[in-house]
Structure 1
Amino acid sequence: MQDFLLDDADRMFRAEVRAFLQRELAPRAVAIEDRQDWSAVKQVVRALGAAGYLRLMFADLYQGSLAQPGLTHATVLSEEAAYLNYAFETTIATALSCAYPLHRHASRRLCDTYLAPILDGAAIGAICVTETNVGSDSAGMETRMVFDAKTNEWVIDGFKRYISNASVADVYIVYGMASAGMTAIAVPGHAPGIRFPRNYTFMGRRGSLVGEVEFKDCRVSAEHLLGEPGGGSRIMRGMFNFERVILGGSGLGVARSAFDIAVAHAQQRQSFGQALGCKQLIWDKIAQMSWRIDAAELLTYRASKMYDAGSDGKALMKEAAMAKLVATETANFCANETVQILGGDGITKEFGRAEQIYRDARALTIVGGTSEMAKYLIASRDLPGLRITL
């Protein structure tokens, strides 16, 4: 890892957070993976909150040693957590994606009620976008939001699925269609009319809770509105930029974890009288993993540094999409090649984490916008004179 775009303060922070996660997350990673132990997840979330690491994105609330905390440092946290356990990283990344629009668009009272506990590690947040017929095409949302002037409440009806932290979140940022257009509302996890039909069983990311959230005549007071009615698209765009850069960090962490396993095996395993890494077909795999990781790192931290320098919205959309695309595709490539290098050891739990990483990595090119959607966002900036249709 060259970390060419990071400065000395960034590197010191990486060393600090890596040591912290080795103390708090590493000893619990097996319980999270093998037993899907939610209590272990919560313990690490609380420790992160107590240490102030969940406030990195919010300079006005941060109280740590960094002079200029920002998305770069949140991405480092994501990378280091995903290196040890991507399922756990999903939990905190989702919580931060929930905290982001609260910090920017919620009332002071709403922030005191929901944002502060999330950043302290005492509460969990979730984001509700995906529906049965809606993924990246968010304009087609079927969830409806109607303002009841008589009771001064928003009434929400709809069904969301593939929601990380479903059933355990304390607050859900819900996107739906109001008369003014797409709108965002913060819904408490205990609100009347909200229910959780089921959680899903995934091939990977064991320990991360993902499921369905249903709203039937779900009523919340008017103050739970984020921004203005019809302002949901702008809020979502900023949230997605943030999420995609964070996912770049996730992909990097997973890719590096696979790469380190492959490198160790290639140097230790003997085959036909010499180390496996002496074989041309093996060193080719190692070299390809290495350059892809460096490329993903440069794109990811370019995007995070751009955000910290003031870029956001449409100005960051292409760079955030590139970071997400390359880092998550790299994670899949490295996971696959590592399993191949390890052979039988790569597909058994008895001989290490390669098979877990392989299963975990597969979600990365789907969540937070597919690789195909990322390519669309990139091309739409590079072909401004054309109307590109999905």
Structure 2
Amino acid sequence: MTQSDLPRPDERGPEAAETALAFESAAVAYDRAAERGDMLQILAPDARVLRPELLPAPDIQLHLYRQMRRARHFDERGWVLYRQGRLGVFPPFGGMEASQCGTAAALTKDDWLFPTYRDTGAALTLGLPIARTLAYWRTSPHGWHMPENLKVLPFYIPIATQYPQAVGAALAEKLRGTKNVAMAFIGDGGSSEGDFHEALNFAGALNAPCVFVLQNNGWAISVPTRSQTRAENLSLRALGYGLPGVRVDGNDALATWHVTNEAVERARRGEGPTLIETVTYRVKPHTVADDPSRYRTEADTAGWSERDPVVRLQTHLLREGLLTEESDAALQAEIAAEFEAALQEADGYPDPTPAEILDHVFAEPTPQLRRQRAELLEEA
């Protein structure tokens, strides 16, 4: 898609002018970055191989596809469960699977993951159980604490607070003498928060083994990226803090994994943090309770279906013979069965008691929490 293909503001009415400009900024910036080569791509949107020398091993490609399929299935079933009253307000991430799965797949379970509220796909990729994830989005206490064998923080609702906290975890690993790293996610809107800049400066000054993922998905709730910053290349913000900044096609899972794997290995070698900007697009609403028609039209997201990350990798794998129609169908059936089994497990969790709301606030309850818990138990 080129700029001339897009609807002009005067064709859609003056009230759509700002939205049209925002869409043009996102779509055209993506194409322009690809043409200039300042956004790494291994697969073009039509799945042509642009950088064969950078292709990951076949088993990694298949792993990435599997994780993206799992994430997309969760996202799609999440919509259905919400409408059935079986899931709380949920931030969908459909269309951003490569950005989330391609980055998290570069970690091991010894590493830290600090996700935003939209990064369910990243947490699932690292190993967060589906049943536990469903419980979290049901606001059930069974989803409030993470598994002991997984260093995933609960999904952050405040914007950007996870960045400096990830630096702290990375520095703790450094002091312990491990090779473990911390990965933190943020959106383009969050990169305008003070915590973002403080964390980059903090990590750079102390050479923290940290990987910062900045998902530029075009929107901060209802505010388009171009309205909250004049910067076109957000990865360049890293240079002000002495960090390398990398810009990658966030809809290309192979490229996203490649740059993240390099950043993770760099951190493990003691060479410090990296900022990765994944250029993608939030095709879905801000949450399942959001009405995006209030701030954008269907035309604003139409061009992004051509850049679908799951279809892109699927097409490539079929062309290369790493996947067949039969093996793909079997994989998707397996993923569906896995989800339904997890849903049945989550449905079987006992209903929480009122006092449980206080059980996971602190590792050691304060006197105030003990008193409040006792009062709730008396009322029960």
What range is the shorter-chain TM-score in? under 0.3
Higher strand share: 1
Higher relative contact order, chain-length normalized (CA < 8 Å, sep 6+): 2
> What is the TM-score normalised by the length of structure 2?
0.27
| TM-score, normalization by structure 1 | 0.27
